[in-house]
Amino acid sequence: MAQPGEKRKREDDTNNGGTEDKDNAAREVENPLPGFRLSAVLRESARDKTIFLHGQVSGDDEAKEDAVVILERAPFQAESVSDLLGKNPPMTLQLKNDIYGVYHLSPPPELNEVKATVIRPATEKHIKKYLRQEVYLIQESGEDYKNITLPFIQAQSFSIQWVYNILEKKAEADRIVYENADPENGFVLLPDFKWNQKQVEDLYLIAICHKRGIKSLRDLTADHLPLLRNIMKEGKEAILKRFGLQGNQLRIYLHYQPSYYHLHVHFTALGHDAPGTTVERAHLLNDVIQNIEMDSRYYETRTLTYALREDEALLKSFKDAGKF
Ligand code: GTA
């Protein structure tokens, strides 16, 4: 259903697009996947209408470069669909039985959008991340975190350059929905990669804190309560103002483990089954705040449970330490 704020223009945005934005714009006009050759289908989901591909493209110096491409059929928008059906589009009959009919409808290109997320050059870690694999639960104690997980994160986590680009307004500056510029307790709220912003049903934003060095939930203490409360309160207000969704229609959570070790909070529409909302990964911000209010060292000390993929290097570290 269309929401009040959904179609609102972002006239209050400051468009101070940085170099990355310009670069991205230039790349969009060119083909981001020159000479794409499929190497493997990493994963597909008929339910989510998504396919994850690994391929090779020609890099700048003609050398081959690995790319991960995620193709995803865009969600329907009530308005344009009713518009389409109102115009008596040709529908090819597939099956008819009593009052039941199945037809094939070929919508015009503007209603047939496929979202393509491109990661290039993709590292081995990116390719593995999207590969369908067996997953196993890990019970990580506070000591395990210090002895196994932390050294692992320090040695080989994903680059967070894209986060710094956002905070420094070098990328996605025109997409910022709200900012609290305080360096200690401030954050930037903007649409997540995964949201095309065309309908609020699958709304997905992320709040990225300005302060550097807070890697994840594990680092949070009572010192971070003002930051977390700001994200909770101001994030909700900004989403209500811009997109018309109330705070009680939002799922606001952190991932543990996250993919990117710079503290960020996910805001998704409650009715949207976003990836990463399972009980072994998502930690509601409300609960996080309360737990830290009760015990400042809560996340430093308690055992946290999460899933790791079969060939994930962190799982190997747990195995090597005899903890799995
Ligand atoms: N605005 O440049 C960016 C950017 N990047 C690089 C990541 N994000 C970005 N947002 C903007 N600009 O929600 C977003 C991600 C994610 C958040 C990081 O930052 O979209 P996280 O650190 O907790 O890590 O959050 P998470 O959730 O694992 O990240 P990611 O990469 O989204 O992985 C999600 C899992 O969902 C993957 O394992 C993937 O297999 C699965 N998945 C299912 N559907 C999709 C899909 N359509 N797109 C991407 N991943 C999907």
Cβ < 6 A, ligand 1 pocket: 50, 70, 72, 117, 129-130, 162, 172, 190, 192-194, 206, 255, 258-260, 266, 275-276
158-203 pLDDT per residue, tens: 899 999 999 999 999 999 999 999 999 999 999 999 998 989 999 9
Mutation probe of ligand 1 site: the residue of 259, 267, 272 with most atoms within 8 A of C-beta: 259
Strands (E), 59-152: 64-73, 91-97, 100-105, 114-119, 135-140
Distance 188 CA to ligand 1 centre (A): 17
- Ligand-binding site membership of 320 (annotated): no
Which regions in the chain score pLDDT beneath 70?
A: 1-30
> What gap in Å lies between CA 159 and CA 81, rounded to an integer?
40
Residue with CA nearest ligand 1 atom 3 = 193
Residue with CA nearest ligand 1 atom 36 = 275
Would residue 264 show up in a list of annotated catalytic residues for this protein?
Answer: yes
Q: Looking at residue 30, what is its pLDDT?
A: 65
- Ligand-binding site membership of 265 (annotated): yes
Q: Looking at residue 76, what is its pLDDT?
A: 84
Distance 1 CA to ligand 1 centre (A): 25
Cβ atoms of 71 and 45 closer than 8 Å: no
Distances (CA, A) of 243 to 50, 117, 147, 186, 199: 25, 23, 43, 21, 9
Which residues lie across from 234 on neighbouring strands? Answer: none
Which residues lie across from 139 on neighbouring strands? Answer: 305
- Ligand-binding site membership of 258 (annotated): yes
Annotated catalytic residue within 54, 126, 224, 264: 264
Using CB atoms within 10 Å of the CB of residue 281, give its burial: 0 to 12 exposed, 13 to 18 middle, 19+ buried. Answer: middle
Mutation probe of ligand 1 site: the residue of 206, 253, 254, 283 with most atoms within 8 A of C-beta: 206
Distance 37 CA to ligand 1 centre (A): 24
133-320 under CATH 3.40.630.10, yes or no: no
> What gap in Å lies between CA 45 and CA 54, rounded to an integer?
15
> What gap in Å lies between CA 171 and CA 204, rounded to an integer?
18
DSSP state of 148: I
**Reduced to 3 states, what is the DSSP secondary structure of residue 58?**
strand
Task: Choose among 13, 7, 313, 24: nearest CA to 170.
Answer: 24
CB atoms within 10 A of CB 188: 23
> What gap in Å lies between CA 200 and CA 187, rounded to an integer?
22
**Domain-wise residue ranges, the chain:** 133-320
Task: Choose among 228, 205, 226, 203: nearest CA to 284.
Answer: 228
> What gap in Å lies between CA 153 and CA 218, rounded to an integer?
12
Asked if the peptide bond before residue 246 counts as cis, ω within 30 degrees of 0, the response is no
Distance 83 CA to ligand 1 centre (A): 32
Task: Choose among 275, 208, 288, 285: nearest CA to 250.
Answer: 285
Q: Looking at residue 245, what is its pLDDT?
A: 97
- Ligand-binding site membership of 257 (annotated): yes
Cβ atoms of 175 and 12 closer than 8 Å: no
> What gap in Å lies between CA 300 and CA 146, rounded to an integer?
9
> Mean of the per-residue pLDDT values for the chain?
89
Residue with CA nearest ligand 1 atom 46 = 194
Q: Which contacts of 12-19 are long-range, i.e. CB under 8 A and separated by 24 or more positions?
A: 13/174, 13/175, 13/176, 14/173, 14/176, 15/173, 15/174, 16/169, 16/173, 16/174, 17/169, 17/173, 17/174, 18/165, 18/168, 18/169, 18/170, 18/171, 18/173, 19/170
Residue with CA nearest ligand 1 atom 35 = 275
Distance 194 CA to ligand 1 centre (A): 7
- pTM equals 0.85
Residue with CA nearest ligand 1 atom 26 = 259
CB atoms within 10 A of CB 318: 20
